[in-house]
Amino acid sequence: MNMDIEKSITSNRVWPHPEVVEDLAQLRRRAPLTHCITNIVVTNFTANVLLAAGASPAMVVTIEEVADFVGIAQALLINVGTITTTDAEIMLKAAATAQETNTPWVLDPVAVGALKFRTAIVGELLKYRPTVIRGNASEILALSGVTGGGKGVESTDSSVAALPAALELAERSGAVVALSGEVDYITDGKNIISIPGGHEIMTKVTGTGCTLGALIASFLPVTESALRAATAASVLFATAGERAFKEAKGTGSFAVAFLDQLSTIGVG
Amino acid sequence: MNMDIEKSITSNRVWPHPEVVEDLAQLRRRAPLTHCITNIVVTNFTANVLLAAGASPAMVVTIEEVADFVGIAQALLINVGTITTTDAEIMLKAAATAQETNTPWVLDPVAVGALKFRTAIVGELLKYRPTVIRGNASEILALSGVTGGGKGVESTDSSVAALPAALELAERSGAVVALSGEVDYITDGKNIISIPGGHEIMTKVTGTGCTLGALIASFLPVTESALRAATAASVLFATAGERAFKEAKGTGSFAVAFLDQLSTIGVG
Amino acid sequence: MNMDIEKSITSNRVWPHPEVVEDLAQLRRRAPLTHCITNIVVTNFTANVLLAAGASPAMVVTIEEVADFVGIAQALLINVGTITTTDAEIMLKAAATAQETNTPWVLDPVAVGALKFRTAIVGELLKYRPTVIRGNASEILALSGVTGGGKGVESTDSSVAALPAALELAERSGAVVALSGEVDYITDGKNIISIPGGHEIMTKVTGTGCTLGALIASFLPVTESALRAATAASVLFATAGERAFKEAKGTGSFAVAFLDQLSTIGVG
């Protein structure tokens, strides 16, 4: 990593950092209704992750209802993982409505750069100014104009290598960028917060990245900044992942323990 | 609660009530093929809940096949949770076919009243006379003409407060109404059966309501009345939920234990 | 079973057969990108099964991207379980592209024979020469022209009874046929490999058949023959199923333990 960038990392954030503790308490108190337009692989896990943490997930995915529901919801997630022709129209309408109604929203540009159709739609979505963009190194590199050779949704670049791209993307887009990897980095283009922890086994359970994007969305309406929302969600994921690994006998029991940890962290 | 209504509660039903034991035995013996047209969040969990209890779930969701499959299936569930333009057409065809072929069916009007499109479609679906309508207090209130301020799929009203609405809806529609909440109530407009039990943690696992609707559908062809089918499914859910909570370390292990309980209750 | 057929069973295959051990090592080393176009009930479980075993799953399901992604992926699965009008077009394009690009692919003809629309589409798909066809007895019988009275996705015929149909189908189509049942049989029309093991509880967890089809696809690019790929996946499933049953308290914990076993078998 470039030394200048390394120096600009404001802080490491781990549980129980007082801001994260406070933000989680707010999430549980207010249970923000989070509108998730996400991929067909992770719908169930996304809802269960949000419920475990304390938010209220809802999936509303038809063109007739999407604008109304963005208006009702406190936050929105758009994840293009399994985007279809119809989804594209719905996502664009949801993003436009979020901008109009000042509903904070997260864009998860799964596999952007690897496939033309979604790359074009993500380009359109960016015009509606997401509050947060969450992605792995390949995706953040692709969005910043430097293709990373994306192999589907798996990151093939280390997160630290994509940090300059994350900074550039944050500055240019005005979004907070949440860059996921062995270490997570959250940046608003000036500050960089690094979040160590988690466990490699998380890459062997589908949706640990996609559901992080959803949880960031849930935190947006209950925290004082998007930087703080993305940080809180990432710290919870890293901590729950680390603790769950200690209880797990394999990837199946890891996923179960991960939800258990999210639903009990800081309780009692 | 209105005193008159309170008096009209015929009975409390808990496991192992002999009728529920008998109906579960029938379900396991006959493994009714249950056609589920449900939302994208709970498809997997729905299939696993039905298999655990002893039914045979199947999802057939294309306009070319839906009528044929309603004819083959013993029961049908229609859950509008993530309804789309295409789904609406399929659901209407399925409901029409169910009426023509005397296939018993359950309507789960998720978030009805909160969003116009689904509210209109649910209105159309009601014309095909569902055998059972299952919903939370907000949804039952909305269907009975009294809006309950639905916040997505979460109930914001207590179930007992919606009991007059449930009675009215049952009388007017001819359907048995299964009203879910801290206590579940089942009514055919005359009798009211109350089902205590379950556990609050069930609201933190997605699909515990939606899958109850599916299991009620599975019981319809193997019990002597819709009242009894809805009661059997609700008692099983309440009992499995209560027992699973005792084994759970959080919401993840709760969901696993819930399926374990459904698959073993009354066995051996 | 016909005596001639019984004699032609080349061998029983169980873990740790050296070929299966070697093929699993290859799978984990190369993590083949496996394009899954599958049904809405099992998307999440499919991804988790493939990740647990060591492959890289990806679902790309829109007409604009499907051909590009078949070109990128090392293998393809097409499972028609919840086929829709739109899916049919996507599946045909994917299969055509797989044939053009020599991408090995698995066809899982769920409930073929029971419903006209999917039966016609499966007929079309067969023209693109799947590398492997995986199905239960009813489905293999239906494809070979002898209807087995399919009741949705559940097999109503024993697998051994469908062995002559499997041989005939393999010869005629040029595909390896993986016939699932109490005993699994894999045949290329000449050799027959039988795979005992597994456990009846696997029929009570949704997707144990569908995800086997996906795992066979993952093995295709890393093994020396389709016969060996189908065998390796089937042996892993049988072994993981048998072991998981010993740890399970019901169907919920079985599914969790099954993933645990897949992710740890032969490790350390």
Per-residue pLDDT reduced to its tens digit, B10-59: 789 999 999 999 999 999 999 999 999 999 999 999 999 999 999 999 99
* Residue B11: per-residue pLDDT: 84
Nearest-neighbour CA in chain B from C118: distance (Å):
8
Nearest-neighbour CA in chain A from B227: distance (Å):
30
Mean pLDDT estimate for chain B: 93
* Residue B2: per-residue pLDDT: 54
Task: Report yes or no on C109 lying in a domain.
Answer: yes
Task: Report yes or no on C32 lying in a domain.
Answer: yes
Q: Which residues contact C24 (CB under 8 A, 6 or more apart)?
A: C53, C54, C232, C236, C265, C266
- For B65, half-sphere exposure in the C-beta direction (CA atoms, 13 angstrom radius) is 29
* Residue A46: per-residue pLDDT: 98
Tell me which chain A residues have a C-beta less than 8 angstroms from the C-beta of C47: 41, 206-207
Token code pair at residue B31: 């493994």
List the single residue in B83, B207, B253 with the smallest CB-CB distance to A62. Answer: B83
* Residue A7: per-residue pLDDT: 63
Chain A positions with Cβ closer than 8 Å to C: 39-45, 81-85, 87, 111, 114-118, 151-154, 203-207, 248-253, 255-256
| Cα–Cα dist B215/C238, whole Å | 29
Chain B: residue whose CA lies nearest to A247 = B249
Q: Which residues contact A235 (CB under 8 A, 6 or more apart)?
A: A13, A14, A15, A17, A20, A195, A197
Is the confidence at residue A69, as pLDDT, over 70? yes
| 8 Å CB contact between A90 and A69 | no
Is the confidence at residue C149, as pLDDT, over 50? no
What pLDDT, in 10s, does the model give residues C12-68? 999 999 999 999 999 999 999 999 999 999 999 999 999 999 999 999 999 999 999
> Which candidate, A42, A44, A40, places its Cα nearest to that of A83?
A40
What pLDDT, in 10s, does the model give residues B202-241? 999 999 999 999 999 999 999 999 999 999 999 999 999 9
Q: Identify the weakest region by mean pLDDT among B5-19, B84-98, C190-204.
A: B5-19
Judged by CB atoms closer than 8 Å, whether chains meet at C58 and A117 is answered as: no
Tell me which chain B residues have a C-beta less than 8 angstroms from the C-beta of C117: 62, 64-65
**What ipTM was estimated for this complex?**
0.94
A-to-B residue pairs, Cβ atoms closer than 8 angstroms: 99
Judged by CB atoms closer than 8 Å, whether chains meet at A115 and C57 is answered as: no
Q: Identify the weakest region by mean pLDDT among A86-90, A154-158, C69-73, C83-87.
A: A154-158
Pairing of strands C192-195, C184-187: antiparallel
Token code pair at residue C66: 């499907």
Judged by CB atoms closer than 8 Å, whether chains meet at B41 and A40 is answered as: no
Write phi, then psi, for A57 (nearest 5 degrees).
-80, 150
Tell me which chain C residues have a C-beta less than 8 angstroms from the C-beta of A41: 43-44, 47, 59
List the single residue in A40, A58, A258 with the smallest CB-CB distance to B40. Answer: A40
Using pLDDT thresholds of 50, 70 and 90, give the confidence band for residue B156: low
Is the confidence at residue C114, as pLDDT, over 70? yes
Partnered with residue B186 across adjacent β-strands are B178, B193
Greater pLDDT, B6 or B120: B120
Tell me which chain A residues have a C-beta less than 8 angstroms from the C-beta of B153: 58
Tell me which chain B residues have a C-beta less than 8 angstroms from the C-beta of C91: none
Task: Report yes or no on A252 lying in a domain.
Answer: no
Judged by CB atoms closer than 8 Å, whether chains meet at A43 and B41 is answered as: yes
Token code pair at residue C162: 């469908």
Against chain C, the chains showing at least 3 CB pairs within 8 Å are: A, B
Domain count, chain C: 1
List the single residue in B52, B64, B257 with the smallest CB-CB distance to C117. Answer: B64
List the single residue in B45, B84, B256 with the smallest CB-CB distance to A62. Answer: B84
What pLDDT, in 10s, does the model give residues B112-126? 999 999 999 999 999
**A244 CA to centre of own chain:** 20
Using pLDDT thresholds of 50, 70 and 90, give the confidence band for residue A205: very high
Average pLDDT over residues A42-62: 98
> Which candidate, B8, B17, B9, places its Cα nearest to that of B184?
B9
Task: Report yes or no on A24 lying in a domain.
Answer: yes
C-alpha dihedral, B157 to B158 to B160 to B162, nearest 10°:
10
Judged by CB atoms closer than 8 Å, whether chains meet at B206 and A47 is answered as: yes
* Residue C159: per-residue pLDDT: 85
Judged by CB atoms closer than 8 Å, whether chains meet at C39 and B48 is answered as: no
Nearest-neighbour CA in chain C from B8: distance (Å):
38
| Cα–Cα dist C225/C229, whole Å | 6
Task: Report yes or no on C248 lying in a domain.
Answer: no
Average pLDDT over residues B47-76: 98
Task: Report yes or no on A194 lying in a domain.
Answer: yes
Please state, in angstroms and as integers, the Cα–Cα distance from residue C255 to each residue in A250, C9, C244, C247, following that order. Answer: 12, 31, 8, 10
Judged by CB atoms closer than 8 Å, whether chains meet at A61 and B42 is answered as: no
Task: Report yes or no on A258 lying in a domain.
Answer: no
% of chain B with per-residue pLDDT over 70: 92
% of chain A with per-residue pLDDT over 90: 88
Please report, for the domain that includes residue B221, its CATH number.
3.40.1190.20
Q: Given CA atoms B194, B198, B201, B205 in this order, what sign does their dihedral have?
A: negative
Range of the domain at A192: 3-239
Judged by CB atoms closer than 8 Å, whether chains meet at B61 and C42 is answered as: no
Nearest-neighbour CA in chain B from A164: distance (Å):
37
* Residue B1: per-residue pLDDT: 46
List the single residue in C58, C64, C257 with the smallest CB-CB distance to A152. Answer: C58
Judged by CB atoms closer than 8 Å, whether chains meet at B259 and C252 is answered as: yes
Token code pair at residue A121: 């739609």
* Residue A268: per-residue pLDDT: 74
Task: Report yes or no on A257 lying in a domain.
Answer: no
Chain B: residue whose CA lies nearest to A261 = B250
Is the confidence at residue C103, as pLDDT, over 80? yes
- For C208, half-sphere exposure in the C-beta direction (CA atoms, 13 angstrom radius) is 34
Average pLDDT over residues C201-214: 97
What pLDDT, in 10s, does the model give residues A108-131? 999 999 999 999 999 999 999 999
Chain B positions with Cβ closer than 8 Å to C: 33, 40, 43-44, 47-48, 51-52, 56-65, 68-69, 72-73, 86, 255-264
Against chain B, the chains showing at least 3 CB pairs within 8 Å are: A, C
Using pLDDT thresholds of 50, 70 and 90, give the confidence band for residue A154: very low
Is the confidence at residue A1, as pLDDT, over 50? no
